[in-house]
Structure 1
Amino acid sequence: MYVAVKGGEEAISNAHQLLAKRRRGDTSVPALTVDQIAEQLSLAVARVMGEGSLYDEGLAALAIKQARGDLIEAAFLMRAYRTTLPRLGYSQPLDTGRMYIERRISATYKDLPGGQVLGPTFDYSHRLLDFALAADAEGLPEAVARRVSTPASMPRVTDLLGDEGLIEPDPARSADAAVSDLTREPLSFPADRDLRLQNLARGDEGFLLALAYSSQRGYARTHPFTGEIRYGAVEVEFFAEELGFAITLGTIKVTECQMVNQFSGSAKAAPTFTRGYGLVFGQVERKAMAMSMVDRAMRWEELGEELTAPVQDHEFVLSHSDNIQATGFVEHLKLPHYVDFQAELDLIRKLRAEWLEAQGAVDPANGKKEAAE
C-alpha cells in the first residue's frame, strides 16, 4: 500500500514510482507493446505526431505508452524530444497531387476521375460495440482487394474547378520568398497564412473542431462543401546542394482536405468559389476538415469580409490553439501557491474588515454578534 510522504524530493520520487506502477497495471495482464500501439491505435499515433510536430510512428507510440494514453501529454513528450534533434535542412514542398491514395472522397462530385475510394473509415459503420473484440477475436473480415492508385491518376477536385475558372487560384508566391518556421521562432502578429497553417496543423483537434462547428452555426457564416479529402502516402524530397537535384528521403502518410466555400466576386473579378485548406500527419480527417474550415474563416480580410466571430480572430485562434501551452497554463495551478494565497487572504480580510466597519457591523468570523442598526 502506498503511503503519502512529506518532503519534496522523496515525495516526488515516490510519485514517480507509483506512476510507473499504475502505468503497468495488473501484472497478470500482458504488457502493451509499442508495436501494438503503433499498429492498432494508429489514429491516436497520428494525432500525437501532428500535435507533437514530429513524424515518427514508433516514438509516438512510445510516448502514448509512457503517458498512459494521455494524448496531450504524449504530444508534449514528442515536442520535448524534438528539441534534441539536429536540424539538417528543409524538405521540398509535398506534392499531394502525386499521393499514393488509400482513401479519397468528395462531397461535391459523384463521378470523379479516378473514382471515389472509401478506404478505411468509420463513416459507414454502425456505432455499436463489437463484443467480439473484447473476446480477443481478431475481427478480421474476408480479404478484400486493396486498391493502390498510381500517383497521377487522381487529380484534385479543386484543380477540376480551377480548369473552369470556378474557384480562386492558389495564392501566387515567389519561389525564394521567406517561409516562417513556427518550430524555431515564436508566434508573432500579424501572422501570414503560412504561419497560420503551421499553427493550425499542430493545434489541438478539439479546439479546432469547436471553432469549425461554431462557424457552421452562424459565427462567421461558413457552411462549405467538402471538395475533397484524400489520405495516403507522399514522398518527402530533400534538395542536395552537392548533387544539384532533389533526392527522395522516404514517404509519410498525410490527410489533405480542401473545402469549397461560398463564392466571391466584384466588378473587377468574376465570381469564384473560395477555398480552405488542411493538411495533417496520418489519417486524422476530423482535424483536417476543421483546420480547413478555420483557415477559410481567418481569410476574412483578404476576401473583403467583416470580422464578426471568434473563429476569424487571428490572435484569439492562434494564441489558444496550442494544447501544450494551454496545458502548461492550466496545470501550473496544481503547483504550490502558498505565498500568493496567503497574500490574497490578508488582502480580502483587510477589505472585508473595512467594509464591515463602514456598515457599522462586526465581522461574524470573530464570533461576535453583528452590531449594525
Structure 2
Amino acid sequence: MYVAVKGGERAIDNAHAWLAEERRGDQAVSELSIEQIRNQLTLAVNRVMAEGSLFDPDLAALAIKQSRGDMIEAIFLMRAYRTTLPRFGYSRPIETANMACDRRVSATFKDVPGGQILGPTFDYTHRLLDFALAAEGEVPEAPTVTAASERIPHVAEFLNQEGLIQTETPSEAVPPDLTREPLELPADRALRLQSLTRGDEGFVLGMAYSTQRGYARNHAFVGELRIGTVDVEMDIPELGFAIDIGEIEVTECETVNQFTGSKTEPPQFTRGYGLVFGQSERKSISMALVDRALRWKELGEDNLGAPAQDEEFVLYHCDNIQATGFLEHIKLPHYVDFQSELELIRKLRREALETVAGQVPNVAEAAE
C-alpha cells in the first residue's frame, strides 16, 4: 500500500546541517576564502555575474562557495539577492569603443587600427594538464602590460564606410527591463539580447553550434572580440550632467554574417551581437550567432525551421533558473497525483483483462 512519507522541519534542518558539513569538506584542509574564489576562479565568477544579472565579484564568489560550486544554484542565489536591492535609476549605455582593452582580436582583418591584442587566453595553450599547479609551485611572472586606453574603433565601422555592412539605426525607445518585467512575445531585439545574455551558457552554445552546422544557414566571421573595462555613467538630475559611478569588465563580440540582400536592401554583410559581464568569450560569441539567427524576419529572410530561428523556443528555454525550477520540482512530493495515476492504471488494466477474458473461451471447455 502506498502512503505519504512523513517528515517535517526537523528532517529539513538536519538536511541543511548535513549540507553545510559537506560544503565545508575535510576540516583538516584550509577553507576557501571569498578572495581566493574571486581572484582564482574568475571565469566562474564572471558567469555567475552574467547569468545572475548582477555585477558584483564578491557576491558572485560568495554564491559559488555557498552552492558548493554548483553554477546554476549560485546564479539562482545572485538573482534572488538582486530582487532585494533598491533601484535608484538607470545608467547611460556604455561606450565600448572607449574600452580599455585587455584583449582584442579580429578574424576578418589581420591589420586593424589598434592592433590585435591577444591578452590572457586559452586559445594557444596545448590543453595538457599542468602538474606544477598540483604541486602549488610558483607561477611564472607575466610581462607587464598596460591595457590599451585610447579609443579603438570597431571593425564594423570600416565596413560601414563602404556601405558593405548593414547599418544599425539607433533607437530612442526605452528598452523593456527583463529583470523587472516578464518576457513577452514577440520580443524586439533589445529584449532578445537581454534574454540571451542571461541565458544558460551551455544552451546558448548549443543553439549557436546548431547554426554553424547548417540549422539556420548562418555562416559567421568574428568581426571583433574585445575584453576590457568600460566606465559606467549616470545622469544626476541635481547636477545637470553625467558622472562616472564606476567601471565594469565586459566581453563584446560582433560577428559579420553573409546576406544576399532583399527586395529593399542590396547584398551586404549583416551583424550579430553579444555583450556579457566579465571575460566570457564563448558566451558572447554564441550569443552573437544566435542573435543573428533570430533576426531572419527583420532582415526579410526565409525561416528555414531551424531551432535557433524559433524565438519562442530559444527565449523560453535558455533561462537556466526557470528550466531548473521546472525540472527539479518533479522530485518534490507528488503523492496525491501519483495515487490518482496509480488508480487510473489499475482500473484500465482491470477493464482490459475483463475484455480479454470475455473474448477468449475457457480452455477446459474448449478441450471437451
Q: TM-score, normalised by structure 1?
A: 0.93
Farther-moved stretch of structure 1 (303-312 vs 243-252): 303-312
Which deviations, in whole Å up to 9, do the C-alpha atoms of 1:272-298 show, x marking residues without a partner? 100000000000100000000000000
Mapped to 2, the partners of 1:276 and 1:143 lie a distance apart of 34
Mapped to 2, the partners of 1:316 and 1:151 lie a distance apart of 41
What is the root-mean-square deviation in Å for CA atoms of aligned residues?
A: 1.9
What does residue 226 of structure 1 align with? 222
What does residue 171 of structure 2 align with? 173
Task: Give 1:320's aligned amino acid.
Answer: H
1:241 equivalenced with 2:237 (yes/no)? yes
1:291 equivalenced with 2:287 (yes/no)? yes
Mapped to 2, the partners of 1:106 and 1:119 lie a distance apart of 13
What does residue 94 of structure 1 align with? 94
What does residue 328 of structure 2 align with? 331
Q: Give the ranges of 4+ consecutive aligned residues of structure 1 lying more than 4 Å apart after TM superposition.
A: none
Aligned-pair CA distance for 1:200: 0.4
Task: Give 1:276's aligned amino acid.
Answer: G
Q: How does 1:1-373 map to 2 (within 5 A)?
A: 7-138=7-138, 140-152=139-151, 154-174=152-172, 177-266=173-262, 268-307=264-303, 308-360=305-357
What does residue 365 of structure 1 align with? none
Mapped to 2, the partners of 1:120 and 1:141 lie a distance apart of 14
Task: Identify if the C-alpha distance between structure 1 residues 370 and 287 changes in structure 2 by more than 3 Å, giving closer, same or farther.
Answer: farther
Maintained 8 Å contact 2:102/2:117: yes
Which deviations, in whole Å up to 9, do the C-alpha atoms of 1:110-168 show, x marking residues without a partner? 11111100001000001110011011113x2233130321231x211111111121110
Secondary structure in 1 matching 2:129: coil
Aligned-pair CA distance for 1:229: 0.4
Farther-moved stretch of structure 1 (77-86 vs 269-278): 269-278
Task: Give 1:144's aligned amino acid.
Answer: P
Task: Give 2:7's aligned amino acid.
Answer: G
Mapped to 1, the partners of 2:262 and 2:52 lie a distance apart of 42
Task: Identify if the C-alpha distance between structure 1 residues 106 and 133 changes in structure 2 by more than 3 Å, giving closer, same or farther.
Answer: same
Mapped to 2, the partners of 1:75 and 1:284 lie a distance apart of 15
Task: Identify if the C-alpha distance between structure 1 residues 370 and 27 changes in structure 2 by more than 3 Å, giving closer, same or farther.
Answer: farther
Task: Give 1:226's aligned amino acid.
Answer: V
Aligned-pair CA distance for 1:269: 2.9
Mapped to 1, the partners of 2:31 and 2:354 lie a distance apart of 65
Maintained 8 Å contact 2:253/2:273: yes
Q: TM-score, normalised by structure 2?
A: 0.94
Aligned-pair CA distance for 1:173: 1.2
Secondary structure in 2 matching 1:359: helix
Task: Identify if the C-alpha distance between structure 1 residues 236 and 347 changes in structure 2 by more than 3 Å, giving closer, same or farther.
Answer: same
Aligned-pair CA distance for 1:6: 6.2
Mapped to 2, the partners of 1:239 and 1:348 lie a distance apart of 65
Runs of at least 5 residues in structure 1 that lack an aligned partner in the other structure: 363-368
Maintained 8 Å contact 2:46/2:279: yes
Aligned-pair CA distance for 1:267: 5.4
Which deviations, in whole Å up to 9, do the C-alpha atoms of 1:166-209 show, x marking residues without a partner? 110113312xx231100111000110001000000100000000
Task: Give 2:115's aligned amino acid.
Answer: G
Mapped to 2, the partners of 1:162 and 1:97 lie a distance apart of 15
Mapped to 2, the partners of 1:58 and 1:269 lie a distance apart of 48
Aligned-pair CA distance for 1:370: 10
Aligned-pair CA distance for 1:332: 0.5
Maintained 8 Å contact 2:250/2:276: yes
Identity %: 64
Maintained 8 Å contact 1:101/1:151: no
Maintained 8 Å contact 1:236/1:248: yes
